[in-house]
């Protein structure tokens, strides 16, 4: 599933084609994805102008002048593809329609924004802009890891008394919004913390070390266009390339890349997910 860097990369790719543009036509080619689309979604989007695009956790929020916000979640295999739009020296021609092009937004600048989702775990919904933060999909989310409300003090308080492994706690969207399995593995490796370590046992100093590393990993991944392992693509169809910088994720059996460490990357299963780590230097 795309994590924060992939979703932020998609948001940035959509912005030049959609910002301040009118949606002149909407093709809704099926009634639902993971859940049914909101009533008359195509009609409610048609004629609306895009005021801005935001991201909350793993959701893209498209604010409209109709006082509604379009909420987009990419699910497991969802892609937002832009065509027919001149970006610098590059122009993406409109491709032939594909089987899984479920929603297509036609913009007044001739851009076409297509939501393609082969596995149909993605979602779209509409909510009043003034109430979008209390939408059922967003209301319980924790602070944004790149935002000002996320710091050493807030994370220390959130981890206090937690008997669950630090890996599981950092994946909890109520604790931090947007982190997923890939980036938590990479963060814990850089912080030299075992994914099995109980969250509440970490010292304040070690918790404080996690905060800047989370930001560092996420910012590096965004600059690299995210990570493409299976379905993820950027809005122009390009792959992300942060997967080429993975230090532990997917590296089971490989030598640890830390200087002077003689360990080998191992994999364990935690809550049904694979955790990759170095048993020698992560404690």
Which residues carry out catalysis? Answer: 2-3, 58, 273
Tell me the C-alpha to C-alpha distance, in Å, between residue 187 and each of 7, 52, 81, 170.
18, 31, 30, 10
C-alpha 162/C-alpha 158 separation (Å) is 8
DSSP 167-197: HHHHH-TTTSSS--HHHHHHHHHHHT--TTS
In three-state form (DSSP H/G/I as H, E/B as E, the rest C), the secondary structure along 120-175 is: CCCEEEEEEHHHHHHCCCCCCCCCCCCCCCCCHHHHHHHHCCCCCEHHHHHHCCCC
Residue of 13, 20, 14, 39 whose CA lies nearest to 28: 39
Structure tokens at 265: 């990357």
Task: Outline where the chain has alpha helix (H).
Answer: 4-18, 41-45, 152-159, 166-171, 181-191, 204-223
C-alpha 199/C-alpha 159 separation (Å) is 6
């Amino acid at each position: 599933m795309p994590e924060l860097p992939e979703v932020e990369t998609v948001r940035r790719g959509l912005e030049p084609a959609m910002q301040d543009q009118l949606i002149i036509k909407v093709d809704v080619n099926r009634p639902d994805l993971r859940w049914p689309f909101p009533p008359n979604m195509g009609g409610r989007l048609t004629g609306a102008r895009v005021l801005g695009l935001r991201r909350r956790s793993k959701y893209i929020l498209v604010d409209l002048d109709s006082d509604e916000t379009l909420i987009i979640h990419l699910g497991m295999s969802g892609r937002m593809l832009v065509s027919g739009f001149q970006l610098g020296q590059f122009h993406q021609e409109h491709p032939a329609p594909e089987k899984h092009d479920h929603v297509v937004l036609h913009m007044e600048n001739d851009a076409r924004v297509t939501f393609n989702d082969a596995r149909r775990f993605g979602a779209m919904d509409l909510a009043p802009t003034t109430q979008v933060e209390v939408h059922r999909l967003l209301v319980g989310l924790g602070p944004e890891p790149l935002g000002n409300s996320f710091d050493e003090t807030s994370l220390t308080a959130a981890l206090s008394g937690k008997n669950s492994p630090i890996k599981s706690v950092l994946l909890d969207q109520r604790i931090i919004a947007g982190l997923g399995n890939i980036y938590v593995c990479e963060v814990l490796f850089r912080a030299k913390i075992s994914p099995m370590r109980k969250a509440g046992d970490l010292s304040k100093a070690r918790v404080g070390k996690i905060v800047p590393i989370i930001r560092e990993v996420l910012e590096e991944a965004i600059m690299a266009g995210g990570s493409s392992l299976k379905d993820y693509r950027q809005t122009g169809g390009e792959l992300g390339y942060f997967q080429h910088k993975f230090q532990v994720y997917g590296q089971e059996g490989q030598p640890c890349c830390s200087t002077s460490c003689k360990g080998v990357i191992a994999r364990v299963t935690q809550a049904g997910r694979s955790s990759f780590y170095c048993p020698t230097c992560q404690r």
